[in-house]
Chains A and B, each alone.
Chain A
Amino acid sequence: MKKYLADIAEIIYDEFRVISTSYSILLVLIGGIFVYGLLYNYMYAPDVVRNAPVAVVDHSHSELSRQFTRYLNVTPQVEVLTNAVDYTEAQDLMKRDQVVGIVYIPDDFEDRVSRGGQSVFIMYETTSAFLYYMSMQEASAAAMLALDEDYRPNMMVFLPEQAASQLAMAQPITVVGTALYNHTEGYGSYLIPAVLIIIVFQTLMMLIGMISGRERHTGSIARFASQGLSFGRMARVVAAKTFVYVMLYAIFCCFLLGLIPLLFGMPAIGNPFEIVMLLIPFLLATSFLGLAASLFFTDSEAPLLMIAFFSVGLVFLSGVSYPLELMPWYWRVAHYILPVSPATLGYVQLSSMGASLSQISVEYITLWIQCLVYFVLACFTYKYTTGKVKHSHGIR
Chain B
Amino acid sequence: MTYFVSVLTREMKRMVSRRLYFGVCIILPLFCVFFMATIFGNGQMENIPIGIVDQDQTGMSREVTRQIGSVPTFRVTAHYTDAEAARKATQAKEIYGYLVIPYQFEANATAGREAVLSYYYHYALLSVGGEVRSAFETTLRTLSMAPVVAQATAAGVGVDQVTTFLLPVKSSSHPLFNPDLDYSVYLSQPFFYIFFQVIILLVTVYAVGSEIKFKTGDEWITSAGGNMVIAMLGKLLPYTVIFSIMSVFANYVLFGVMHIPFSCGFWPLNLVAILFVIATQAMAVFIFSLFPAISIIISIVSMVGSLGATLSGVTFPVASMYAPVYYTSFLFPVRHFVEICQNLLYGDYGFAYAWQSIALLFVYILLALLMLPHLKHAVLSHKYENIE
Contact = CB atoms under 8 A, between A and B. Distances in A.
Interface in B214-233: none
B39 A46 contact: no
B51 interface: no
Contacts of A133: 175, 181
Contact of A116 (B32, B164, B203): B164
B93 A23 contact: no
Contact of A129 (B202, B317, B387): B317
A100 B176 CA distance: 11
A88 to B, nearest CB: 13
A315 to B, nearest CB: 8
Contact of A177 (B119, B157, B171, B202): B119
Contacts of A187: 126, 315-316
Contacts of A185: 123, 126
Interface in B120-171: 120-130, 133-134, 136-137, 140-141, 143-148, 150-152, 154-157, 161-171
A305 B206 contact: yes
Interface stretch (B3-11, B269-277, B318-326, B363-371): B318-326
Contacts, number: 378
A144 B155 contact: no
Contacts of B306: 308, 311-312
Interface string B3-30: 0000000000000000010011000100
B295 A300 contact: yes
Most chain B CB within a 10 A radius of its CB, from A116, A118, A119, A126: A118
A32 B303 contact: yes
B291 to A, nearest CB: 11
B251 to A, nearest CB: 19
A303 to B, nearest CB: 10
B163 A354 contact: no
A174 interface: yes
A312 B191 contact: yes
A325 B195 CA distance: 24
Contact of B20 (A36, A124, A302): A302
A113 B169 contact: yes
Contacts of B113: 171
A308 B301 CA distance: 9
Interface string A165-209: 011011111111111111001011111010000000000001000
A353 B305 contact: no
Interface in A145-169: 147-148, 151-152, 154-156, 158-160, 162-163, 166-167, 169
B168 A113 contact: yes
Given A31-B300, A151-B168, A320-B125, A49 B317 contact: yes
Nearest to A45: B322
Interface stretch (B238-246, B252-260, B339-347, B372-380): B339-347
A380 B316 CA distance: 44
Contact of B295 (A48, A140, A301, A320): A301
B169 A144 contact: yes
Interface in A89-119: 95-97, 100, 113, 116-119
B186 A182 contact: no
B82 interface: no
Chain B interface mostly helix, strand, loop or mixed? Answer: helix
Interface in B24-79: 24, 28, 32, 35, 38-42, 45-49
B320 A50 contact: yes
A292 B115 CA distance: 60
Contact of B198 (A100, A126, A309, A359): A309
A323 to B, nearest CB: 5
Interface string A317-350: 1001111011110110000000000000100110
A283 to B, nearest CB: 21
B110 to A, nearest CB: 10
Contact of B148 (A126, A170, A181): A170
B54 to A, nearest CB: 15
B125 A301 contact: no
A321 to B, nearest CB: 5
A174 B339 contact: no
Nearest to B328: A43
Contacts of A360: 92
B109 interface: yes
A68 interface: yes
Contacts of A295: none
Nearest to B203: A305
Contact of B213 (A144, A163, A171, A301): A301
A42 B325 contact: yes
Q: Which 3 A-B pairs have the closest CB atoms?
A: A308-B302, A182-B123, A24-B295
Given A95-B353, A174-B144, A328-B39, 11 more contacts: A24-B298, A24-B299, A52-B317, A126-B177, A137-B173, A173-B109, A179-B120, A308-B303, A309-B28, A345-B93, A359-B92
23 contacts: A27-B299, A32-B303, A50-B320, A97-B339, A117-B164, A126-B346, A128-B314, A132-B317, A147-B169, A154-B168, A163-B157, A173-B145, A173-B147, A175-B117, A177-B119, A210-B295, A298-B20, A301-B294, A312-B195, A323-B128, A325-B47, A326-B42, A327-B41
Interface of B: 20, 23-24, 28, 32, 35, 38-42, 45-49, 87-88, 90-93, 96, 109, 112-130, 133-134, 136-137, 140-141, 143-148, 150-152, 154-157, 161-178, 181, 183, 185-186, 191, 194-195, 198-199, 202-203, 206, 209-210, 213, 294-296, 298-300, 302-303, 305-307, 309-311, 313-317, 320-322, 325, 339, 342-343, 346-347, 349, 353, 387-388
